[in-house]
Amino acid sequence: MRWLSKSVEFVGKVGLFGLRVVVDSLRPPFEFAQCFRQLAEVGNKSLALVVVSGFALGAVMTLHTRNTLVTFGATSMIPAVQAVSFFVEIGPLVAGLLLAGRVGSGIGAVLANMRASEQIDAIESLSIDSFKYLVVPRVLACVIALPFLTLFMDFAGLLGGFLSEELSSHIAPILYLNRAFEYLQWSNFIAPTLKTAVFGFIIGSISSYFGYTTDKGAQGVGEAATNSVVLSSLLIIVADVLLIKCIFFLFPETAV
Amino acid sequence: MSRRYLGVGIFIIVGLVLFALGIFLVGSRHEAFSRHVLLYTEFTDLDGIAKGSKVQVSGMDAGQVTRIEVPRSPSGHFRVQMKVDEQLHGLVRTDSVVTVDTEGVVGNTFLTIHSGSLNAAIAQAGSVLQSKPPVTMSDLLSHGLGIMNDADATIKQVGGKLNVALDGINGAVGNVNDLLLGLKEGRGPAGMILRDEKMADQVRETMSNVQSTTSNLNQASGRVNVLVANIQQRDLPQKLDDTMTRIRSASTRADETIQKVQQSLAQALGPDANGVTAGQNVSEALANANVATGNMAEDTEALKHNFFFKGFFNHRGYYTLASLSPEEYRHTKLFGSTQSPRVWLQADTLFRHGPHGPEELTPNGKHAIDAAVASFGNPIFTHPIVIEGYSDAATPADALSWSYARAQLVRNYVDARYPFTTKNIGVMPLSATPPPGLGHDGWSGICIVVAEKK
Amino acid sequence: MSDPKTIAVEFKRVMKSFGTKRVLNDVSFHIDQGQALCLLGRSGTGKSVTLKLIMALMRPDSGEVYVDQDNVVSMGEKGLSLVRKKLGYLFQDAALFDSLTLYENLALPLSRLTKKSKDEIDDVVHHVLTDVGLGGDGAKYPSALSGGMKKRAGLARALVLEPKILLADEPSSGLDRITASEIDGLLMRRKVEHRTALIIVTHDVHGARRVADRVGVLDKGNLVAFGSVDEVSQSENEVARKLITEGSNV
């Protein structure tokens, strides 16, 4: 029972924290410089990771699907399978998980360290709202950067798939591109890309929660980093299920 | 600081460009930025067509289904609104017909607006086009299977009747034997006439039996033709592989049956020269049966060609030599492979110039071919055999025609001498150039290949 | 009672608990401008909490805290930002912002709480850094500084706003005696030259004896002794007496 009430309490705390992020991000003054700094941290520095893994994943995907599709004589479907799977699910989800790993742990550790070394108190002592100064920009950076990173992932995956396919069947780039987008519709390009903003919000606010609220000193730093990654990855996957249902609901033609 | 701004700026700009690119690529697919006309059609059965399904005009992507109105009562129709690219509007006439089609084996359903006739007026925006109800695959398959079962049953029947007929023939032959013995033993001519009448009746009865089965068989093959036409029209059979094997096994069974009949006939008619007349009749009837099963085989053959995945069959080794050019043939994996056993025979030993000009086989050549056939062992009975003809004649036209003539000569000899199924033996004129990688740069003569697929 | 106009900080019956643990129990005291108060006591007796209450980083459960005659307990963020301009806070581990250079660390309070131009800020930062002996280190990040340098940098940041009241949390902890007395020297100079009130939380009784005009001893949340060094050393409370006299032997 205690465990249960603690869990519920935890959900409540995280929920209020998230709500505070939303409210504070809409209330002036805005910390633009901080947002920009965090955007560079979250976006630019994750770019290489996302592009390289997208490329590799794309190549691997094609190698796998190729075999199966060749059996059905449906080799012309390879680009479409590649594009649909990347744009609809693999791109958003993997980009989200990669960001949770790279940035989530970073945010958790940095904020926990700032809490432990009284830097957050120091900020407060300058009459700066530490929540708006530290948490909101980080969450916003994740929300803004992740859809972009997802696009990078999608196109890197497509490029990887194309090169892998090019090596085995010498397909022309324009034909590949044409076939790739044959089955894509507005709703399964835009909606899955934008849903990653929700993933970004999850990563940013969960990691910030663990970092910002730790009270265990130096020991809390590692703990916050680990918890950030674990919980934000988990929530991303769970949220994905709900978001896909929402997308199906809003755009019924994507659900076949 | 300025460098960070630069980095973030690049990140955002490239991201936006990718987004725009994606939107453009998706958009151009669905012709969101081009002009459209709205057209309507009505269906009692949508067969999976949904909002957003593709619409093609004469095979070109032209737009999508934008709305479907559901009927209120079972007697009503689904009214489908289609957004069609203005550019293709000119092909859509008042007599255009809309059908539901399926992409590939596992694809989505989509609508095709077939282009109308030249004389009809262009269909106005908002007009309702005629539709043709979709034939569902399961209907088609059960129909096809029904026909197959019928054909099967008929063929069994043929087998049974032929056996009855053969019993009759056996009886007749026995009678003839008796008669001859009677003659030899010096029994009177009156007895002979008496016996002969009986025998003649029996043989006549037998013949009519055989003929009626043959017409049954022909009928079955006609129905197969209908099925094939159906399938071609629908252009989509998902489980066609299944159907195909059924057709094939059915025709193989027919073949087998006929083979058995031939064997028993050979046994029945072999020992006595006087049975010849009756035997010839039966042979003719059987030739008819052969034509019937041959039709069936041809029908399956036709399927292979008209069906949408040629590669689908090629992958399984369905080749028709007649449809392969020598160049394609040389590069076909199955025949160009070093794994398929081959025997190379030189022109000098095989042929000599005949008295009337064209080449003919020498006795030595025949021996060489016999030896080659023997050397292949069992596989030659179960696998396709290709006889490649080669000639190093000076002009390309001569080389081609001579190599063809040589291959034909050998084929006719082999065909006549050995019990191979005729359609299993093919010829391929290759002028002077064998397929690459087989150790012969040029050749004059013959090469016999057994296409063993490994 | 001293004249209310010269009172820098005053606590009136302040109570503060964390959960069931009471860290300040009915604490009242005041110090005047230009005075130095050293708060002594064992770890976990609420010394740092006292500083955070003054800075209004925490609110007491009951009681009042006056900074320069303003009650910070009931004050909104706007008023607090005015009060905080008068306060400087030297944190235990300096709490410099890791992501900013030393220069940016010092410029941040000025750009946030004053309307100084960039040139003026440059001047002030440079001046204060030179004052604490870090004139050439403005471009360094905190991670590149030694413990003593960090402490001085933290002090510099606490001083850029020219506070009337300087709060220092263990200014000499983790430092050798010489560096510690350097820091003490800087604090003393501040008090003498600018009549800045000092409230110092410390374990260093030796330093306290040199710097303090007033000494307060906290034990289990109670202010058990308050007064000049001599008064406290003759206090009735054993803990207070022990603390001061032990310190003198060091």
Interface size A-B, in CB pairs within 8 Å, comes to 82
Domain check: are B436 and B383 in the same one? yes
Task: Please provide the CATH number assigned to the domain covering C1-86+165-183+201-250.
Answer: 3.40.50.300
Instruction: List the single range of B217-221, B394-398, C23-27 with lowest mean pLDDT.
Output: B217-221
User: Does A7 fall in a domain?
Assistant: no
Query: Phi and psi at residue A96, in whole multiples of 5°?
Result: -60, -45
Structure confidence by residue, pLDDT tens digits, B140-167: 566 666 766 776 666 566 656 656 655 6
Domain check: are B39 and B76 in the same one? yes
* pLDDT reported for residue B257: 59
Q: Would you give the end-to-end CA distance of chain A in angstroms?
A: 43
Instruction: List the single range of A70-79, B57-66, C75-84, C95-104 with lowest mean pLDDT.
Output: A70-79
Q: Taking a C-beta distance cutoff of 8 angstroms, is the pair B386, B340 a contact?
A: no
CA B125 – CA B88 distance, rounded (Å):
12
Residue B19 with chain A: CB contacts under 8 Å = 148, 151, 193
Domain check: are B300 and B173 in the same one? yes
Instruction: List the single range of B138-152, B207-221, B294-308, C52-66 with lowest mean pLDDT.
Output: B294-308
Q: Is the pLDDT of residue B224 over 70?
A: no
CA B1 – CA A75 distance, rounded (Å):
50
Q: Is the pLDDT of residue C168 over 60?
A: yes
Average pLDDT over residues B354-375: 80
Q: In what order do the strands lie in the sheet with B425-429?
A: B342-346, B445-450, B385-390, B425-429
Element (H, E) at B171: helix B137-184
Residue B57 DSSP label: E
Residues of chain A short of pLDDT 70, as ranges, are 253-256
- Say which residue, A48 or B132, is predicted with more confidence: A48
Element (H, E) at B276: helix B276-306
- Say which residue, B256 or C48, is predicted with more confidence: C48
Domain check: are B216 and B304 in the same one? yes
| Mean pLDDT, rounded, of chain C | 83
Residue B102 with chain A: CB contacts under 8 Å = none
Q: Please tell me if residue B311 touches chain A, with a CB cutoff of 8 Å.
A: yes
User: Does B314 fall in a domain?
Assistant: no
Alpha helices in B44-136 (DSSP H): none
Domain C-terminal end among B109, B131, B153: B131
Cβ <8 Å between A74 and B18: no
Residue B71 DSSP label: P
- A227, two tokens: 């918890």
C neighbours by CB contacts (3+ pairs under 8 Å): A
Tell me which residue of A165, A173, A178, A195 sits closest to B24, measured CA to CA.
Answer: A178
* pLDDT reported for residue B275: 43
User: Does B249 fall in a domain?
Assistant: yes
Residue A145 C-alpha, separation from nearest chain B C-alpha, in angstroms: 8
Residue B308 DSSP label: S
- A176, two tokens: 């590949």
- C64, two tokens: 């009042």
Domain check: are B392 and B254 in the same one? no
CA A136 – CA A120 distance, rounded (Å):
14
A5 contact partners, CB below 8 Å, separation of at least 6: none
Q: Taking a C-beta distance cutoff of 8 angstroms, is the pair A228, A211 a contact?
A: yes
Structure confidence by residue, pLDDT tens digits, B398-431: 888 888 888 888 888 887 788 776 556 778 888 8
User: Does B346 fall in a domain?
Assistant: yes
In DSSP terms, C38 is beta-bridged to: C200, C215
> Residue B428 belongs to what domain range?
321-450
CA C242 – CA C250 distance, rounded (Å):
13
Average pLDDT over residues C67-77: 84
C52, C99, C109: residue with CB nearest A121: C52
* CA–CA distances in Å: residue C94 to residues C46, C98, C174, C187: 19, 11, 11, 15
Structure confidence by residue, pLDDT tens digits, B39-98: 899 888 887 787 778 888 888 888 888 888 888 888 888 899 988 888 888 888 888 888
* pLDDT reported for residue B320: 58
Residue A110 with chain C: CB contacts under 8 Å = 98
* pLDDT reported for residue B289: 53
**Cα of B278 vs its chain's centroid, Å:** 35
* CA–CA distances in Å: residue C124 to residues A61, C44, C118, C128, C140: 60, 36, 10, 6, 18
CA B385 – CA A206 distance, rounded (Å):
71
C55, C57, C93: residue with CB nearest A117: C93
Q: Taking a C-beta distance cutoff of 8 angstroms, is the pair A234, A227 a contact?
A: no
Token match 């265990």: residue? A216
* Candidates A41, A111, A118, A123, partner chain C, best to mutate (most C CBs within 10 A): A118
3-state secondary structure chain C: CCCHHHEEEEEEEEEEEECCEEEEEEEEEEEECCCEEEEEECCCCCHHHHHHHHCCCCCCCEEEEEECCEECCCCCHHHHHHHHHCEEEECCCCCCCCCCCHHHHHHHHHHHHCCCCHHHHHHHHHHHHHHCCCCCCCCCCHHHCCHHHHHHHHHHHHHCCCCCEEEEECCCCCCCHHHHHHHHHHHHHHHHHHCCEEEEECCCHHHHHHHCCEEEEEECCEEEEEECHHHHHCCCCHHHHHHHHHHHHC
CB-based burial label for B295 (10 Å; 0-12, 13-18, 19+): middle
Element (H, E) at A76: none
Domain check: are B384 and B419 in the same one? yes
CATH number for the domain spanning B180: value is 1.20.1050.20
User: Does A155 fall in a domain?
Assistant: yes
Residue A122 with chain C: CB contacts under 8 Å = 89, 91, 95-97, 157
CB-based burial label for B201 (10 Å; 0-12, 13-18, 19+): exposed
- B263, two tokens: 């064997």
Cβ <8 Å between A119 and C98: yes
Structure confidence by residue, pLDDT tens digits, C149-161: 888 888 888 888 8
Cβ <8 Å between B8 and A44: yes
Domain check: are B404 and B329 in the same one? yes
Any contact of C with B, at least 3 CB pairs below 8 A? no
Q: Please tell me if residue C193 touches chain A, with a CB cutoff of 8 Å.
A: no
Q: Is the pLDDT of residue B297 over 70?
A: no
* DSSP string computed for B378-427: THHHHS-EEEEEE---SSHHHHHHHHHHHHHHHHHHHHHHS---GGGEEE
Domain check: are B338 and B395 in the same one? yes
ipTM of the complex model: 0.82
Bridging pattern class, strands B54-57 and B109-113 = parallel
Rg (CA), chain C: 18
Residue A237 C-alpha, separation from nearest chain B C-alpha, in angstroms: 24
Cβ <8 Å between C57 and A128: no
Token match 């990718």: residue? B18
Tell me which residue of B98, B96, B94 sits closest to B81, measured CA to CA.
Answer: B98
Average pLDDT over residues B293-302: 51
Cβ <8 Å between A186 and B19: no
Q: Please tell me if residue A141 touches chain B, with a CB cutoff of 8 Å.
A: no
B14, B52, B312: residue with CB nearest A185: B52
Q: Please tell me if residue C220 touches chain A, with a CB cutoff of 8 Å.
A: no
Q: What percent of chain C has pLDDT over 90?
A: 0
Reading phi first (left if > 0) and then psi (alpha if -120 to 50, else beta), residue B355 is in alpha
- The number of distinct structural domains making up chain A is 1
A114, A122, A127: residue with CB nearest C80: A127
Band of residue B253 on the pLDDT scale cut at 50, 70, 90 = low
Q: Please tell me if residue A177 touches chain B, with a CB cutoff of 8 Å.
A: yes
> Residue A94 belongs to what domain range?
31-254
Any contact of A with C, at least 3 CB pairs below 8 A? yes
Tell me which residue of C148, C81, C136, C144 sits closest to C103, measured CA to CA.
Answer: C136
Element (H, E) at A192: helix A187-212
Average pLDDT over residues B447-451: 81
Residue C117 C-alpha, separation from nearest chain A C-alpha, in angstroms: 18
3-state SS class at B354: coil
Residue B119 C-alpha, separation from nearest chain A C-alpha, in angstroms: 34
Interface size A-C, in CB pairs within 8 Å, comes to 49
Token match 């530290």: residue? A134
B neighbours by CB contacts (3+ pairs under 8 Å): A
Bridging pattern class, strands C36-41 and C197-201 = parallel
Residue B22 with chain A: CB contacts under 8 Å = 87, 151, 154-155, 189, 193
* pLDDT reported for residue B136: 56
Domain check: are B150 and B293 in the same one? yes
User: Does B87 fall in a domain?
Assistant: yes
Q: Please tell me if residue B13 touches chain A, with a CB cutoff of 8 Å.
A: no
Average pLDDT over residues B254-259: 60
Cβ <8 Å between B11 and A154: no
- The number of distinct structural domains making up chain B is 4
Cβ <8 Å between A36 and B309: no
* pLDDT reported for residue B209: 60
Structure confidence by residue, pLDDT tens digits, B165-205: 556 555 555 554 554 454 444 443 333 333 455 544 654 56
Cβ <8 Å between A121 and C109: no
Any contact of B with A, at least 3 CB pairs below 8 A? yes
Q: List chain C domain ranges.
A: 1-86+165-183+201-250, 95-162
Q: Please tell me if residue B48 touches chain A, with a CB cutoff of 8 Å.
A: no
Q: Taking a C-beta distance cutoff of 8 angstroms, is the pair B26, B60 a contact?
A: no
Query: Phi and psi at residue B95, in whole multiples of 5°?
Result: -100, 15
User: Does A237 fall in a domain?
Assistant: yes
CB-based burial label for B33 (10 Å; 0-12, 13-18, 19+): exposed
- B199, two tokens: 């025998």
